[in-house]
């Protein structure tokens, strides 16, 4: 009985994970989706990273209907783009805080190598 109790306790202890990913996006429509700057500004601090960039998305994009998934040590962010709707240019501000740290982020098809701030 003692042996079974020890095994159960070990399973609970080693299965605990404090990994998370918190994100928040703000998008502001700035015009038509034609030529635009493909640069990405990144600000890193102890609360995570902030990315500022321009991207094309559906005209009715509100900053809430985007996709953000983690794959290994990478985060992939996609803005909603459907061929049936008109596209507009948006100035996007994305805040990401994740544990464990990620080393790459793909923002609307553009890859950024991430070196997080020391915590």
Query: pLDDT tens for residues 40-83?
Result: 999 988 888 999 999 999 999 988 889 999 999 999 999 988 87
* 115 or 32, higher pLDDT: 32
Residue 8 within any structural domain of the chain:
no
Residue 12 vs residues 6, 7, 16, 19: alpha-carbon distances, Å = 10, 9, 6, 16
Say which residue the tokens 């040590």 belong to: 73
- The pair of three-digit structure tokens given for residue 36, joined into one six-digit string: 């635009």
Residue 97 within any structural domain of the chain:
yes
What range does the domain containing 54 cover? 19-113
Residue 12 within any structural domain of the chain:
no
Residue 6 within any structural domain of the chain:
no
Query: Band of the pLDDT at 18, cuts 50, 70, 90?
Result: confident
pLDDT above 90 covers a percentage of the chain that reads 52
The total number of structural domains that make up the chain: 1
Residue 63 within any structural domain of the chain:
yes
Distance of alpha carbon 98 from the chain centroid: 9
Residue 5 within any structural domain of the chain:
no
Provide the edge-to-edge strand list for the sheet that holds 48-58.
20-32, 87-99, 48-58, 40-45
pLDDT at 101: 86
Residue 42 within any structural domain of the chain:
yes
**pLDDT, averaged across the chain:** 84
Residue 82 within any structural domain of the chain:
yes
pTM beyond 0.85, yes or no: no
């Amino acid at each position: 009985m003692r042996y079974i109790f020890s095994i159960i306790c070990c399973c609970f202890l080693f299965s605990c994970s404090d990994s998370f990913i918190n994100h928040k996006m703000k998008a502001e429509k700035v015009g038509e989706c034609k030529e635009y700057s493909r640069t990405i500004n990144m600000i890193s601090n102890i609360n995570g990273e902030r990315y500022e960039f321009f991207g094309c998305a559906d005209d009715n994009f509100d900053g809430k209907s985007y996709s953000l998934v983690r794959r290994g040590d990478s985060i992939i962010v996609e803005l909603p783009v459907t061929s049936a709707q008109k596209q507009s240019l948006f100035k996007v501000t994305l805040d990401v805080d994740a544990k464990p740290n990620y080393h790459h982020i793909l923002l609307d098809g553009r890859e950024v190598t991430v070196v997080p701030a020391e915590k």
